[in-house]
Structure 1
Amino acid sequence: MASHLILGRRVDIPLEIRDATVCSATYLVRADAARAVLAYSGMDVTELLPGKAACTLVFAQYRDSALEDYHEFGVAFLVRPPEAQAPPPRGLLAGVRDMHRAGFGTFIHWLPVDRRLTLEAGRAIWGFPKELADIEIRLGTPYKRCILRKDGRLVIDLLIRPGTPLPGAGSIAMDAYAHLDGVTRRVPWSMRPRGIRARPGGALIRLGNHPIAKELSELGLPKRALMTSSISHLSMSVGEARPLPSSRPVEA
């Protein structure tokens, strides 16, 4: 087991998150616009439809983990692992089948948090693009809401409507990717969700005047979500980050 010292606290890897609530909204966006956003990373998006990529907005309240309790918001894209071959997009269902055959990952483009410990750990251990922000999350009703402000400016106000209960999915393993300080890293993780609800559509968005809000608007938001989901109780295990060979900094 690896361990890291972050702000005087030992953080063991794999990191165990024992309880969190997570809500998300996934959108089909223009693949060329998504590729422009991710150009800095060397990663390529997965096209679920010809010319369409998947962008997910997610917010989470972490209640029990080695990084204490905190709020988090994320902007992520469905991407192909660097070694995967790009299947020709042939419609949404065929695209999803091809995606599962070829493998897929989630690229974390932006990941604001509201606590210093998770900020420092996320950047130092995994290379996640974490920044401090004001994140208000409301989970007390069936309608889940996140209001995110950065540098005193509204970025996004996102409301998730309640969906239909779904059976438990067991343990789900996948790879996350992130880029920081010139290096793209792969982070293996597994999730164990309970209390899943999902539905087509189901999101309301208000964008602010922050540069990230402008970037989301250039992707075509706000628009109807492809789907939304909420997980009332999520546990996770996050492994050690590994730099992709092609992204290692070149020695001068």
Structure 2
Amino acid sequence: MEDTPAPSRHTIAGTELTMPVRVRRARQWTAMFAVDAAAAQAMIDYSGLRVARALPGRAVVVLMLMQYLDSDLGRYYEYGTNVLVKSPEGPTGAFIHHLPVDQAFTCEAGRSIWGYPKVLADFDVRERGRRLAFDVRHDGRLIVDMEFAAGQPLPAVLGEREQVYRTYSHTDGITRETLGHSRPSAVRVRPGGVRLRLGDHPYSDELRALGLPKRAFVCQTADNVDMTFGDAREIG
């Protein structure tokens, strides 16, 4: 019988993390936009990956807010600009192009363990009834200001299935792939449903080059997402 390899460990700011990292409770808001595929490809060319084309000439960009309430990386907010890409092994994955967070520990862990492009930023999150609005600023400059309206509940048989997902990152000249598992609950969806305003940050200019702001074709929220994700694998 072969010995089971010991789980890998990483020490961040004096704290040891054992893989896989677990997120026990998190809230999620995502908005998906159809954008010009050539513009999206130009934005992520540095990664060596190719955008997935949902329709001829169109790619998908996902803008996302996560609120991590109970995780191995602590409590924090995270904003992401993700581009759906072709996985080298076939399935579609998400390339993470921007990833501001509001806590130093997860910033250091994300950059050193997975090569995620995390930077420290300031978040202002406002909830009014069933609407959520937030803005995120880096170096005092606004990146995005978004507001999500509540959608319609998705039946549990559709919205609460366990999912395997692939994320990709590229830092220090290295492209990495990270596999994870997630199970969302209390999922709501609706066409549109998102107001987006861009600021004066360089990240904002990159989003303008994609044709944003525009109407999202769908938004989705989840009251909780349970996740695990392991070590990154270098792919290029």
1:140 CA drift (Å)? 5.4
How many angstroms apart in 1 are the aligned matches of 2:161 and 2:67? 21
Residues 42-78 of structure 1, C-alpha deviations (whole Å, 9 max, x = no match)? 0101111110000000001101011110000000011
* 1:120-199 equivalences in 2 (<5 Å): 120-139=108-127, 141-168=129-156, 169-199=160-190
How many angstroms apart in 1 are the aligned matches of 2:66 and 2:97? 16
Give TM-score, length-normalised by structure 1: 0.88
Q: Secondary structure at the match of 1:37?
A: helix
How many angstroms apart in 2 are the aligned matches of 1:140 and 1:167? 25
1:167 CA drift (Å)? 2.1
* Contiguous gaps of at least 5 residues in structure 2: 1-6
How many angstroms apart in 2 are the aligned matches of 1:15 and 1:140? 32
The answer to whether the Cα contact below 8 Å between 1:71 and 1:137 also exists between their aligned partners in 2 is no
How many angstroms apart in 2 are the aligned matches of 1:140 and 1:235? 25
The answer to whether the Cα contact below 8 Å between 1:145 and 1:159 also exists between their aligned partners in 2 is yes
Counting aligned pairs with the same residue, the percent is 42
1:87 equivalent in structure 2: none
How many angstroms apart in 1 are the aligned matches of 2:155 and 2:54? 25
2:3 equivalent in structure 1: none
How many angstroms apart in 1 are the aligned matches of 2:23 and 2:129? 24
Is the aligned partner of 1:4 residue 2:10?
yes
Residues 98-154 of structure 1, C-alpha deviations (whole Å, 9 max, x = no match)? xxxxx1111111100000000000011111110011112234531122211111111
1:41 CA drift (Å)? 0.3
* Contiguous gaps of at least 5 residues in structure 1: 85-102, 248-252
The answer to whether the Cα contact below 8 Å between 1:61 and 1:137 also exists between their aligned partners in 2 is no
Aligned residues: 227
1 or 2, which has the higher strand percentage?
2
* 1:20-39 equivalences in 2 (<5 Å): 20-39=26-45
> Aligned in 2, Cα 1:214/1:25: closer, same or farther, shift over 3 Å?
same
How many angstroms apart in 1 are the aligned matches of 2:132 and 2:180? 25
How many angstroms apart in 1 are the aligned matches of 2:129 and 2:110? 30
Give TM-score, length-normalised by structure 2: 0.94
- Whichever residue aligns with residue 33 of structure 1, its letter is A
1:215 CA drift (Å)? 0.8
How many angstroms apart in 1 are the aligned matches of 2:46 and 2:177? 16
Match of 2:80 among 51, 74, 77: 74
Q: Secondary structure at the match of 2:179?
A: strand
1:236 equivalent in structure 2: 227
Q: Secondary structure at the match of 2:109?
A: helix
- Whichever residue aligns with residue 211 of structure 2, its letter is G
Is the aligned partner of 1:65 residue 2:68?
no
Q: Secondary structure at the match of 1:241?
A: strand
2:192 equivalent in structure 1: 201
1:9 CA drift (Å)? 0.5
> Aligned in 2, Cα 1:53/1:218: closer, same or farther, shift over 3 Å?
same
How many angstroms apart in 2 are the aligned matches of 1:76 and 1:136? 21
Q: Secondary structure at the match of 1:38?
A: helix
> 4+ residue runs of structure 1 moved beyond 6 angstroms?
none
How many angstroms apart in 2 are the aligned matches of 1:4 and 1:23? 29
Q: Secondary structure at the match of 2:108?
A: helix
